[in-house]
Each structure stands twice: as C-alpha cells, then as structure tokens.
Homo-oligomer: A and B are copies of this chain.
Amino acid sequence: MAAEQLNQSECNRSRVMRFLYNNGVSSRAQIAKSLGLTPAAITKITAKLIDEGLISETGEIEGARNRRSIGLRLDPERFHFIGVKFARSLIQVGLFDLAGNAQRIWVDMTADHPSIGDAITSLKTLIGQIMARFSTVVAIGMAVPGPYLRDCGHTAVVSSMQQWRDVNFPAEFADAFAVPVFIEQDARAGALAQQLFGDDGARDDLAYYLIGEGVGLGVVERGRTIDGARGTATEIGHVSIDVNGRRCDCGNYGCLERYCSAVAIHKALDEDGGIVADSDTMTHIEACEALFALAADGDARALELVRHIGTYVGYGLITIINAFNPRRIIIGDIVSHAGEPLLASAMRVVDDRVLPELAATTSVTLSDLPTDAAVTGAAAVAITAFLEQPSRFADIARRRRGD
C-alpha cells in the first residue's frame, strides 16, 4: 500500500512536471487549476520538486486579475539525455537537453567495424566518454528497428538490420552504464519525439510514419503509445498491401516495406541502372538522396520513380487512417526527404481511396524536426521516462553529481 501511495504522489509530481514542460513558466495557481489539485497539494508537490532540484522559482509573473505571483519553471539545461539510434548501416548517438535540442551528434558506420561485437564495444566506449564529460546525463534512450520483442529483448524480423538479430539489447545495455537505459521500437520513439517536441496541436493523437531502411509506425492515442501485448503493435511495414505480393523476411507476402523502404528504392535503382549512375556502389541513403536530388532538379525519370514510390507511401497512409484514425500523420526518415512530389503523389491516393470525412480531418505532413529526428526519438524515450518518474531521476542526478 505504501508503494502504491508513493506512486500516487510520484504520479502527481509527474503531472506537474508535464504541465511545466508543455506550458513553460507558470504559477502554482495556474498549475493547480489545470490539474485539479488543492492548494495544499500543489504546495507540497512543488516544494518537493524544488527541493529535488527539478524545478525552480522565477521572479514574479502576471497572474489572474492582475495579481502577481511567483513563477515556477523547469530548467531544460539542467538534465541531459543520450539518444542512440540503431539502423542497418549506422549508429547515431546524440546528447540532448530536456527540450530535445541536440547538443552534439556522433555517427558510427557499422561497416567500419569488423563485427557487431566490435561495434557494440565501440558504442559503449563512446557513451562512457560522453557520460564522463557530462555529469548531467541521467538517462539513455535507444531506438531499434521493429518488430522489437520487448519481453525477450531482441529485434524480430530485421529485414533492415539482419546482423543485429542475435543481440539481446537489454542484456547488452541495461546495466552497462550508471544511468537507466530505455529501449523502444524506432518509429514509436519517433512518435514520442513528435508528441514532446513537435508542432503544437494533436500532440495526443498522432502517428509517426517512419520510412527509412525499414518502414515503421508509432501511434500516440489519447496521449499514450499503442504498444501491443509484446510491444510489436503498429508494425505497418509488415502489414500486407497485396496478399499475393512480394515475399518478406517476416514470412508475410506483400509487406508495405517491400515497396517503399530505402532498401526497396535502392533495389529498384540498381535494377534500372539508368536513373542514378553507379547506384550499386552507394549506400541505401546515398542512393535515395541521389534519386531525390535528380527529381528535385526536374529529371523526368527520377520524378516518375519518386511519384511511383509516393503511391505506395499513400497505400500505407490509407491503412494507417483506417486502422488507427490519428488526427495527424507525420512522415519522417530517409524517404521523407523526397519532399513535395512524394507527398503530393501519396495524397492523391488518400483523396481517391479514403472516406472523405476522414481524409478531411487527417493532416499529413513531412517531419519538421531537424535532420537528426531519428536519434531525437531515442532521446524522447528517455525524456518520457524522466517526466514519468521525476523523483527517481532527481536521485540519479544527485548520485551522478556526487552529492
């Protein structure tokens, strides 16, 4: 019972932290009113948060009816987070503040390492160095390609990350550092980043449609991600768009991922050698970027291929709308760099094939987060955990500072 009551208090502290996170400097009265807390409760909660160094008082601010009151704020620079994004060909590591601003990004090409074991050792060394230099780091988030089986700790299909199939992520990383590590499917991490750092509006009902080396989806429904019983829900990349279509590594046929991932685009370019010269010597990302650059320059065949891919991106949008009905869909990762022609082509399919009532009330945009959005998602996983259990991380911060 004591544990549960502690959780209840931590839950209220978390709500106050979230409120300040989303609304900036606010008075106790404003917070209490919005969250339905009594004056006694808000006094107690904020006193503990101040004592823990999680929030601080600012000068006086303008309150209701011109009354002035003390402001409270969350300092985004006081706590830092490491985000790690795993993809087939590279590992990105970023240092972030609480607001999701990247302080620095490191990129490690897996091809530079003789083995996965070596890549992991190198990653651990890098994280250790960052942590030694920044004692403000309190948590690490990792984003891995789905399907990621949460309970047994490994990725399951990995058409985009074959070599990593045998890695048990929690066993490898959970206790490797002095701070907790949180692991999440990459598109779900992207959805959390959009919820925390993205545009205002529909923060609580959105989908992040990741089209990179794999195709994934993260959905936030009424403020929470849809996870599924084993953490493998919203695997749109392996929902079939044609039950008689191309065979996929997951066992299914006609998986969306086989038609519009960066890997599928690269394959199409290699098969038709004429659009991007020497595409077979390029990485998937390079091949895609070369195609998109040609299309942007008006190359007719490149543009035709981009539009063709956009049609498949559109088929995915239709499934997302009919299966999850989010208010906003944000398309991100490598393939979103194709920009307007791709989006226009996808939206033509949506307008043709989705109920008009739904098409009219679903916004579809390309990601507006900076280029490093992928690794930002990994940080968002850690920051979400921080906002859920602020006191736990205040303890960790104290320990890290050596208090």
Contact = CB atoms under 8 A, between A and B. Distances in A.
B234 A323 contact: yes
A33 interface: yes
A252 interface: yes
B252 A354 contact: yes
Main secondary structure of the interface of A (DSSP, over half): loop
Contact of A233 (B35, B156, B243, B323): B323
A253 interface: yes
Contact of A251 (B205, B240, B353): B353
Interface residues of A, number: 63
A361 B230 contact: yes
Interface string A133-173: 00000000000000101001000110000000000000000
Interface string A12-51: 0000000000000000000011011110000000000000
Nearest to A232: B325
A234 B235 CA distance: 14
Given A239-B319, A240-B319, A205 B229 contact: yes
Contacts of A361: 229-230
A115 interface: no
A344 interface: no
A193 to B, nearest CB: 19
Nearest to A352: B251
Most-contacted residue by chain B among A147, A221, A358 (CB, 10 A)? A358
Contact of A318 (B221, B230, B240): B240
Given A229-B205, A240-B318, A353-B251, A33 B324 contact: no
Interface in A152-209: 152, 156-157, 202, 205
A226 B233 CA distance: 12
Interface stretch (A2-10, A105-113, A392-400): A2-10
B243 A5 contact: no
A335 to B, nearest CB: 18
Contact of A221 (B227, B250, B353): B227
A1 interface: yes
Interface in A351-368: 352-358, 361-362
A145 to B, nearest CB: 14
A299 interface: no
A327 interface: yes
Most-contacted residue by chain B among A234, A244, A251, A361 (CB, 10 A)? A251
B241 A5 contact: no
A357 B152 contact: yes
Given A205-B229, A232-B358, A252-B322, 19 more contacts: A1-B32, A4-B36, A4-B37, A7-B36, A156-B358, A157-B355, A221-B226, A228-B325, A228-B326, A229-B325, A229-B326, A232-B325, A233-B324, A234-B324, A239-B323, A242-B242, A242-B243, A251-B352, A252-B353
